[in-house]
Structure formats: C-alpha cells, structure tokens
Chains A and B, each alone.
Chain A
C-alpha cells in the first residue's frame, strides 16, 4: 500500500502576525517555518501504522506545492520518516491552484490513501483536501480523528457536531485529518536527520492552472478595550456588571 501526505509550509504557531506593503502581504521577516501541524500528525499516524504492521505499507511520500524555500520543511518530513518527497515548484496562489497541481501529479501515480490536513494554520482555507478529492473523483472523509488499516481494509472515524461516526470507505480515498489522528508529532531522530539528506526529493514543474480567488489585503483585529477588574472580595459586583452593563446574563 502507498500513502501520500500533502504538507503545507506554515509559520510557527506562535509567530507574531504582521503585514507589509500597505497591509497587502504577510511579513515573513524572522518567521520560523514548520510543517502544518495537522500534516505532521497525519505523517505520524502513517508511520505508526507502517511500524505496527510490517509489510502493509511499502511507501510513504510527502508532497508540497511551494517554491525552493519550502525544502527544509520537506526535508524535515523525510527526517521524521517519510520515504520520499515531491515538490511542485510553484507559488501556492490559492487553494484551487494548489489542488490542481497536486491532482496533476497524483494522477500519474497510484496512491491508496491520500492524507491532507483539515486546514493550514496560515490562510485557514480548509479547502485543498476536499478540492483534491473532487478533482480526482475520489471519495473523501473529512474531519478524520482516527484511521487504521486491518487486513487490507481501512476504517476511519470522523467527528460530527456532537459526536463521531465510524465510516467504511473504498480505496483509493482521501482522508482529511484533524485533532485525534495522532497525539504528539514524531520528532526526527539523529539517524533520521542524517538519512533525510540522501532520501529522494523530486522537483516537478507546475501545470497551467487557474486560481479562483485573490487576497487583496489584511486587517489586524481591533484592539480590545482594557479588561475591567473586579475585586476578588466583591464577586457579586461581577455578577451585577454582567447583568446590568454587559447584559449577557
């Protein structure tokens, strides 16, 4: 079985968000780039399954649409344990563009399971996984919090509002994963880091594709008014403020 994991390259989650060029572009100065947390967990889960069932999974590939500067992120995925990396050499303009590029490459290879994260932590799209499945006309299961392979069959659990569903699916399929898929991301070992240098990282040129949306500019949230502090010995005051002033109770 072959697994493909789509990874996006995002700013570290603690990055202070600033914009430049009259608020039309994200300020990348000093930003640490990481594998999007969901994609890192997807990779962790794929490796866990590979380790638990020797022979079931022959290959785990990671793929990214990005310019040359995303290579350290792809190398990190190889260091964690992926067997092969692919980079499609293009600036990820919008989700439809990214999904179209991924679909182009995936059509030429046979993957049994394709994993995407539910969303990238930068543009919060929640788009690429679903778009890719439609482009490939494959079944998709979204909000996946558990995935396992037993006797060649996959079983997945997905989150719904107020609960979970166990879903059976045909393969190939796309799992769009979220919280729960793995607990903590794997950390590359020294051996992994050394090995990653010699693992294949294939670079392919993009195909012509449209983009359907365009980001014009950004705004930071309005600063909040200062917090009104209430004396801990006068809790009743808080209740009265919430009732009379904020009118929320």
Chain B
C-alpha cells in the first residue's frame, strides 16, 4: 500500500503546492499505516527531489522522459496509472489546480477509482472513506464518501499548510511505457511569466478593485506587494477593463486563492469575488462605503479612501520592518 502524490515543478523547482500535498499525504498515510510515494515528472535535480523527504515522502519516482515536457492529459494519465500499479497505491493526490483538474478525472475512469475534488481536510474516516469538499463556490462544504477501493483526491490549495516531517527519501528513476497513440495533442508554444511569484503560491496578496479608479493608481498596490514579498491581484471588472492582466483576476470565475493575508482596496466584496478569496486566513478591507459587503468577510477594515490609506500603510509597515 502507499499514498501517491503527483508533484509539480516550475522550471525545475517544486511549487509550494507540492510540499503542501506531501504534508497532506503524510497525514493520510499515518491514518492508513502506510507511506508516501511522490511522483515527479520533468527535469528536477536530486537536491531538489530530496526536499520532498522533508515533508514525509519516503520514495520519489522521477520521470525525466523528454516526451513528457508538455502536459498531455492522456499520456500523463498512463504514467500515473503505471506508478499506481507499481506502488500499489490506494490513495492518489493532486492539487486542485489546472493540472490536477486535467488529469485526476481521467485517472479516475482509468482506475475506476472514485474522485473527490477541492478537498479541504484529511479524511474524517477511512472506512468508509469520507472527506470534506468545497461546494457551491465555497458557500458550503459537503461530506462525500468515496465508495471504490482506490481513491483520488484533489486538495484545495493553501488550506492544509506545509509541515516538516523529515524522512530519508530514496530517489528512483522511473521509466514508464509510453504509447504513441496517446500523444494526440502537442504543445506548440508556451507563454509564461517567469521570475514572478505565482499568485496562487503567494502568502500575501494585495488586490485592488474598481474603487482604485484607474490603472494609473496601481503604483502603491504594487509597492505594498513588493514590500511584503507578495503578489498583486484584482477584481473581475478591473481585468475586464484592461487595467490589470487577466492572470490577476480572482474570484469564482478567476483564480481561487487562500493566502495568509489578503488586502482588498476599493473592492465591494460581491459574492462572486468572495468565492475566490474567502479561504484567506486574514482579510483586510479598505473601502469608503461602510456598508460594503467586503466588511462582512474581512477581519480588519478601514472605512476610508484607499488612495489616502495606501501610502500611510506603506510607511507604517516600513517602520515596523525597520524595527
């Protein structure tokens, strides 16, 4: 038996979500009295692979075949299914992100293994296997039983946390069989931002809404994000207007994030916006309307002008940082 984790790297470095997944897997493995096996697809150095051991991965299967450089749902499903067979895995974990959503449902059919997506905590019970998952765009949670003997979960990002639990991990090269007939899609061009913190990976997010009036007022938002080592985000109308890139749009129809700290400047807090940020551990709202719904979701708030509050907040934080 084992718990298998599909890890992801970003230019050879593991994404934060991979460490979170291993931490989560470790907790499930304890309940099932078994161990954690990580699967890594792509070129990752041994030193980096070993890091997975810090969170409890006892074995790391490393697949480096060039044919798997770009995501191919069918071929990746085959690779993971072969790892499951080899490691006799009964629980398989993915992140609830673009890749997890692409592969987990295919694997579910391939293995006839029940799938629960957007899971928020470790199984409350293992027999029957019961997990809690997000429903109604985070307006409610459901308890779901997976009836099959093999179970697949996608974990909502940033809800579980990262916990160290070091073991000495063995690294094992893994050469799964690849079928030509499973390569029916081909990545032609990749267009990705490098050197910038991923919004979904950021612990602190500074976000602005229509109340910021126009793109020319984003200077202090970016400054605050940089000062705190965080990322910037925005509400949907802001990206629709082209004030900010679409990749920054958070909410039900954009990115779903759960940072430690989320700042909402000039955001009214519409239900669809909250759907993407309500998992944040601490929400700070600055809005000149005392009745704005964002204050119902916020932990701290200032009823006031964001343009005035931002520079003052920046200098106050600089003072704290300077000690």
> Are B316 and A229 in touch, CB under 8 angstroms?
no
Closest to A179 in B: B253
Closest to B146 in A: A213
Q: Give B293-317 as 1s and 0s: 1 = Cβ < 8 Å from A's Cβ atoms.
A: 0011111111111001100110011
User: Does A32 lie at the interface of the complex (its beta carbon under 8 Å from any beta carbon of B)?
Assistant: no
With contacts A176-B102, A238-B316, A248-B204 taken as known, whether A221 is within 8 angstroms of B138 at the C-beta atoms is yes
> Are A168 and B186 in touch, CB under 8 angstroms?
yes
**What are the residues of chain A within 8 A of B130 when measuring CB–CB?**
216
A163 CA to B141 CA in the complex, in Å?
A: 30
Q: Give A202-243 as 1s and 0s: 1 = Cβ < 8 Å from B's Cβ atoms.
A: 000000000111111111110011011111100110111111
A209 CA to B108 CA in the complex, in Å?
A: 15
> Are A228 and B102 in touch, CB under 8 angstroms?
no
Closest to A170 in B: B184
User: Does B117 lie at the interface of the complex (its beta carbon under 8 Å from any beta carbon of A)?
Assistant: yes
> Are B118 and A124 in touch, CB under 8 angstroms?
yes
A121 CA to B189 CA in the complex, in Å?
A: 31
A212 CA to B111 CA in the complex, in Å?
A: 11
A60–chain B nearest beta-carbon distance, Å: 23
User: Does B247 lie at the interface of the complex (its beta carbon under 8 Å from any beta carbon of A)?
Assistant: yes
**What are the residues of chain A within 8 A of B139 when measuring CB–CB?**
17, 220-221
User: Does B252 lie at the interface of the complex (its beta carbon under 8 Å from any beta carbon of A)?
Assistant: yes
Q: Give B183-204 as 1s and 0s: 1 = Cβ < 8 Å from A's Cβ atoms.
A: 0111111111110101010001
Which chain B residues (273-311) contact chain A, with CB distance < 8 Å? 278, 281-282, 284-285, 295-305, 308-309
B-binding segment of A83-91, A106-114, A131-139, A191-199? A131-139
A-binding segment of B38-46, B48-56, B67-75, B168-176? B67-75
Specify which of B135, B138, B198 is in contact with A123 (CB 8 Å cutoff): B135
User: Does B105 lie at the interface of the complex (its beta carbon under 8 Å from any beta carbon of A)?
Assistant: yes
Cβ-Cβ contact count across A and B, 8 Å cutoff: 269
A82–chain B nearest beta-carbon distance, Å: 22
User: Does A71 lie at the interface of the complex (its beta carbon under 8 Å from any beta carbon of B)?
Assistant: no
> Are B312 and A236 in touch, CB under 8 angstroms?
yes
A218 CA to B148 CA in the complex, in Å?
A: 21
Closest to A246 in B: B282
A126–chain B nearest beta-carbon distance, Å: 4
B293–chain A nearest beta-carbon distance, Å: 11
> Are A219 and B141 in touch, CB under 8 angstroms?
yes
Specify which of A213, A243, A246 is in contact with B116 (CB 8 Å cutoff): A213
> Are B297 and A224 in touch, CB under 8 angstroms?
yes
Closest to B317 in A: A239
A50 CA to B154 CA in the complex, in Å?
A: 36
> Are A221 and B106 in touch, CB under 8 angstroms?
no
User: Does B77 lie at the interface of the complex (its beta carbon under 8 Å from any beta carbon of A)?
Assistant: yes
With contacts A160-B71, A162-B10, A216-B145 taken as known, whether A17 is within 8 angstroms of B254 at the C-beta atoms is no
A131 CA to B144 CA in the complex, in Å?
A: 18
Closest to A216 in B: B143
> Are A123 and B109 in touch, CB under 8 angstroms?
no
User: Does A53 lie at the interface of the complex (its beta carbon under 8 Å from any beta carbon of B)?
Assistant: no
> Are A160 and B192 in touch, CB under 8 angstroms?
yes
> Are B252 and A13 in touch, CB under 8 angstroms?
yes
> Are A224 and B135 in touch, CB under 8 angstroms?
no
Closest to B17 in A: A161
Which chain B residues (127-149) contact chain A, with CB distance < 8 Å? 130, 132-148
**What are the residues of chain A within 8 A of B238 when measuring CB–CB?**
none
**What are the residues of chain A within 8 A of B134 when measuring CB–CB?**
124
**What are the residues of chain B within 8 A of A168 when measuring CB–CB?**
185-186, 188
> Are B186 and A167 in touch, CB under 8 angstroms?
yes
> Are B143 and A142 in touch, CB under 8 angstroms?
no
A160 CA to B117 CA in the complex, in Å?
A: 18
**What are the residues of chain B within 8 A of A200 when measuring CB–CB?**
none
User: Does A188 lie at the interface of the complex (its beta carbon under 8 Å from any beta carbon of B)?
Assistant: no
Nearest first, the 3 A-B pairs at minimum CB distance are: A163-B192, A130-B105, A232-B304
- Contact sample, A vs B, 5 pairs, CB 8 Å cutoff: A124-B117, A230-B301, A238-B302, A238-B316, A242-B261
